Amino acid sequence: MKKTTVTKAIIPAAGLGTRVLPATKAQPKEMLVIVDKPSLQYIVEELVESGIKDIVIVTGRNKNSIEDHFDYSFELENTLVRDGKTELLEKVNYLSEMANIFYVRQNKPLGLGHAILKAKPFIGDEPFIVALGDDIMYNTETPVSKQLIETYNKYGASVIGVQEVLEEDVSKYGVIKPVNKLDERTVSISDFVEKPLKEEAPSNLACLGRYLLDGKIFKYLEETKPGKGGEIQLTDGILKMMQDGEKVLAYNFQGKRYDIGNKIGLLKANIEFGLRNEETKNELMDYLEKELKISK
Ligand code: UTP
């Protein structure tokens, strides 16, 4: 893999979000709010802070709210100017200026691999980040995507962001088989299995929503047949690429991950980000202590 600066990212956000229905009946789950921002904004911010300049969001039905969120809103901005609400104005303006955001539509949700393929013309053969639209990462020092970019810059190979998960949870994720330890957090891998049974899992190191992939992946995704659940799996494409001799590494990233694709993950994210937010943290803590008798 040749060394190039990583400046592009794909955010797949075209899934049906059935685990949080009916909230996702008429809006994408990536627009569900965590305290005061849609979850997608946290992800775009992570990418921008990691040095990504161009982002393509793969959207599906009900995409308008996503596009509107990252666009200018003349009425809103004029009203905020008129009312002298400069702080809010800055927050709103920043959204339309933070990155170059492009959209491509996945007309049928045929799987994550299929969603990624839709962005092929935009990426070409460059390395790029994939940031899943329902995984928010929290790390105030080095954003998770930046950690993957640094690993790529060090080793010049595709990198899968992993963390240890409980054994009983391996069947929810793509799980890697580590072989050689390259440094404290990086391993080379020899296998990558989508949602394995607990007994068959090659480890408890699961891919949690961030990848840095060589542009070569598209060729392999094009050859990938529908796998688990009748979907074109990104995991299968990565496996094919590895079997063809391309090096793929796994990086045990530092940061807390919130899966907002399910109800409990959404609630946890709202509570924890609420406890970090200057405007809400004191009242929320009082509420948890007094009403729910939960102490720090
Ligand atoms: P998930 O499998 O978690 O999303 O995909 P989903 O299909 O919406 O989930 P449920 O089971 O119905 O609740 C992970 C990410 O990949 C995107 C999703 O939007 C999510 O951000 N995705 C998934 C696509 O863009 N297209 C697809 O065909 C599938």
How much distance in Å is there from the Cα of 237 to the middle of ligand 1? 17
Are 210 and 132 within 8 A, CB to CB? yes
**How would residue 95 be classed by pLDDT, with cut points 50, 70 and 90?**
confident
8 A C-beta contact, residue 275 and residue 285: yes
Share of the chain above pLDDT 90, in %: 76
**How far, in whole angstroms, is CA 7 from its chain's centroid?**
16
Query: Among 39-53, 94-108, 142-156, where is mean pLDDT lowest?
Result: 94-108
246 pLDDT more than 90: yes
* Gap between the Cα atoms of 106 and 56, Å rounded: 12
CA distance 272 to 72: 30
Pocket perturbation via mutation, ligand 1, pick of 11, 16, 171 by most ligand atoms within 8 A of CB: 16
Domains and CATH numbers, the chain: 8-261 (3.90.550.10), 262-296 (no CATH)
Residue 157 CB less than 6 A away from ligand 1: no
19 lines ligand 1 (CB under 6 A): yes
Mean pLDDT of 177-193: 95
What integer is the mean pLDDT of 269-291? 95
The identity of residue 194, as a single letter, is E
Q: What is the pLDDT of residue 183?
A: 96
Which pTM does this prediction carry? 0.93
DSSP 62: B
**47 Cβ below 6 A of ligand 1:** no
Beta-carbon contacts of 208 under 8 Å, excluding residues fewer than 6 positions away, are 135, 161, 162, 163, 165, 173, 253, 257, 259
Q: Is the CB of 112 under 6 A from ligand 1?
A: yes
Can you give the pLDDT at residue 2? 53
Q: What is the pLDDT of residue 270?
A: 97
| CA 264 to chain CA mean position, Å | 18
Banded model confidence at residue 296, pLDDT cuts 50, 70, 90: low
Of ligand 1's listed atoms, the one at least distance from the Cα of 114 is 28
At residue 88 the predicted structure's pLDDT band, cuts being 50, 70 and 90, is confident
Report the separation in Å between the CA atom of 112 and the middle of ligand 1, taken as the mean of its atom positions.
7
Q: Which residue owns the Cα nearest ligand 1 atom 4?
A: 15
Angle at 117 between CA 114 and CA 119, to 5 degrees: 125
Q: Give, in order, the Cα–Cα distances in Å from 248 to each of 131, 132, 214.
A: 17, 19, 9
Compute the average pLDDT of residues 106-128: 94
